[in-house]
């Protein structure tokens, strides 16, 4: 497929005045490149239904229901990697990045399940804003090798489609409001937040990090102040909302 179709799509997306037109043009070009499935959605959080966050998309039959029922969102390596990625990446790269993670076997199970439903390979294009990760576009199905130029153009298309849809829905300004919390967290604070989000107690976190549970509590008090949170659960919710953890 010619890269001119991607360049032309960028112009068309700017001129579209209806959400349906944007979705239709986007889907046509994605499929013309050989990708069978795609999704354009806001950043996925562990407490939300991914279907409700999707602007547009097409997935294998029953896969969304399986993804939800097996709670794959909690360990999906592609979703977790979005918190760190600044550039587009291939699905398999996210699994490699978490090879030492305690949930790696669960991640492999999810990827194998996806492969069995036709999601064999693909790419993810992160979409960032002032408050961090805001959303992404993912394309996949049969293996398709994109050139560096094509990856850059798909990245531009993802951002253009995402923001044009928000503008037409009059939601762009709200999403880009500057955060009212202090998101400058230390590495240790990020570690503790991530473990807390995974359901670990202060004692368990202390053992993992080789510090006392009282030190963990001290960090948590500081985190609650930074995030303007009422309690630990609220701190985790705020962290998810601002893309600090996944």
Any residues with CB less than 8 A from the CB of 66 and at least 6 apart, and which? Answer: 72, 113, 117
**Cα–Cα distance, 228 to 226 (Å, whole number):** 6
Which CATH code is given to the segment(s) 187-241? Answer: 1.10.10.10
The CATH class of 4-175 is: alpha beta
Please tell me the pTM assigned to this model: 0.71
- The H or E element that residue 122 is part of is strand 121-129
Task: Note the pLDDT of residue 124.
Answer: 97
CA nearest to 76, candidates 116, 104, 99: 104
Task: Note the pLDDT of residue 126.
Answer: 93
Note whether 172 and 166 are within 8 A (CB): yes
Query: Does 4-175 match 187-241 in CATH topology?
Result: no
Per-domain residue ranges of the chain: 4-175, 187-241
Task: Note the pLDDT of residue 80.
Answer: 84
Average pLDDT by stretches of 10, the chain with 246 residues: 89 93 96 96 67 85 91 87 86 92 92 96 90 86 95 96 89 60 76 89 92 90 83 82 71
CA nearest to 142, candidates 124, 116, 125, 122: 122
């Amino acid at each position: 497929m010619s890269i001119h179709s991607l360049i032309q799509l960028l112009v068309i997306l700017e001129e579209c005045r209806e959400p349906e037109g944007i979705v239709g043009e986007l889907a046509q070009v994605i499929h013309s490149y050989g990708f069978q499935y795609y999704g354009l959605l806001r950043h996925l959080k562990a407490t939300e239904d991914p279907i409700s966050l999707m602007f547009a998309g097409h997935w294998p039959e029953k896969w969304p229901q399986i993804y939800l029922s097996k709670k794959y969102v909690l360990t999906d390596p592609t979703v977790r990697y979005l918190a760190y990625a600044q550039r587009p990446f291939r699905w398999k790269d996210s699994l490699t990045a978490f090879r030492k993670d305690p949930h790696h076997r669960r991640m492999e199970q999810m990827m194998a399940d996806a492969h069995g439903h036709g999601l064999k390979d693909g790419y993810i294009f992160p979409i960032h804003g002032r408050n961090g990760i805001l959303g992404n576009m993912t394309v996949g199905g049969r293996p398709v090798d994109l050139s560096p130029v094509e990856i850059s153009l798909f990245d531009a298309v993802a951002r253009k489609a995402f923001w044009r849809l928000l503008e037409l829905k009059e939601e762009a300004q709200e999403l880009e409001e500057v955060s009212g919390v202090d998101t400058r967290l230390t590495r240790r604070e990020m570690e503790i937040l991530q473990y807390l989000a995974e359901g670990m107690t202060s004692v368990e976190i202390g053992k993992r990090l080789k510090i006392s549970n009282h030190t963990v509590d001290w960090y948590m008090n500081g985190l609650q102040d930074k995030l303007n949170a009422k309690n630990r659960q609220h701190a985790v919710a705020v962290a998810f909302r601002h893309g600090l953890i996944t």
